[in-house]
Amino acid sequence: MKWVFRLFGLAVGLWGQWGGGEAAFPEVAEFHFVRMEYRDLPGMRRFGGGRGWWRQDWPEADAHFAQGVRRLTRIDNGVPIHLPLTDDRIFEHPWVYATQVGYWDLSEAEINRLREYLNRGGFLVVDDFYGDRDWEMFRESMRRVFPERAIVDIPDGDPVLRVVYEITERTFIPGLRHLRRGADGLVGVSPQATGPQWRAIYDDKGRMVVAVNFNMDVGDAWEHADMPEYPEKMTALAYRFGINYILYSMTH
């Protein structure tokens, strides 16, 4: 399938505007990329006119990845949207994406709603957070959601790694700011000594309910899929993981 991703990398820049053009997404479809809105922790306000951290890489990452889902699957894929957990429409969608979760400040109502959403079959993907401080903030949030469930490494052979694409590598997927020029071109340099961690939370029946992309930035690989400078290998892996997560959420 590598050739598919090379062709996709050349063509994804033609995704067009959400509201028009030949690549426009339908308003009504069986699947929508849903990005979670949330309130920032006090003192962690994002630069740039008050844009919250939930908007990191938005809207380009969402639109590029949604176009990838359209090209590489038969999913009826609609316009990407963003919702707070407290919006009842969240239950209409099997898959939710949240970025920079080391900076979120979830209220008790949002914690309760996230627990309900996941227990009713929802699937959460978290991405683009780094280091001990971010990890402890995220871990504490998940402890409030599921006090009895651990966050564990995704084992080799887990169903999420083969539901569509057979994934065996765990290559570091860097943010654009973590690319450095090396002897063989641009390479990712992790800001954390521990490297990338692919982790998850499972329910009592062994179904993955939260996929954790820690010490990496899958969203940047989606966002920059049309940049010649961004390494194709990392973009391809990011799209394979993302599509596997979606198909898993829709079939498990």
> Would you state the pLDDT for residue 141?
98
CATH for 190 = 3.40.50.12140
> Would you state the pLDDT for residue 230?
79
Look at the chain and report how many structural domains it folds into. Answer: 1
> Would you state the pLDDT for residue 189?
52
- pTM across the whole model: 0.86
Amino acid at 4: V
Instruction: Pinpoint the alpha helices (H) of 97-130.
Output: 108-119
Residue 195's contacts (CB-CB under 8 Å, 6 or more residues apart) are 172, 215
Q: CA triplet 219, 223, 26: central angle to 5 degrees?
A: 100
> Would you state the pLDDT for residue 183?
46
Name the token pair of 217.
């930035």
Ranges in the chain, pLDDT < 70: 1-23, 43-50, 175-194
> Would you state the pLDDT for residue 36?
98
Instruction: Pinpoint the alpha helices (H) of the chain.
Output: 2-11, 60-72, 108-119, 131-145, 218-223, 232-251
> Would you state the pLDDT for residue 51?
72
Which residue range forms the structural domain that includes residue 180?
A: 2-251
**Per-residue model confidence as pLDDT tens digits over 156-188:** 999 999 999 999 988 888 766 655 455 455 554
**Cα–Cα dist 153/156, whole Å:** 9
- CB-side neighbour CA atoms (13 Å) of 107: 9
Residue 6's contacts (CB-CB under 8 Å, 6 or more residues apart) are 232
> Would you state the pLDDT for residue 182?
52
> Would you state the pLDDT for residue 8?
44
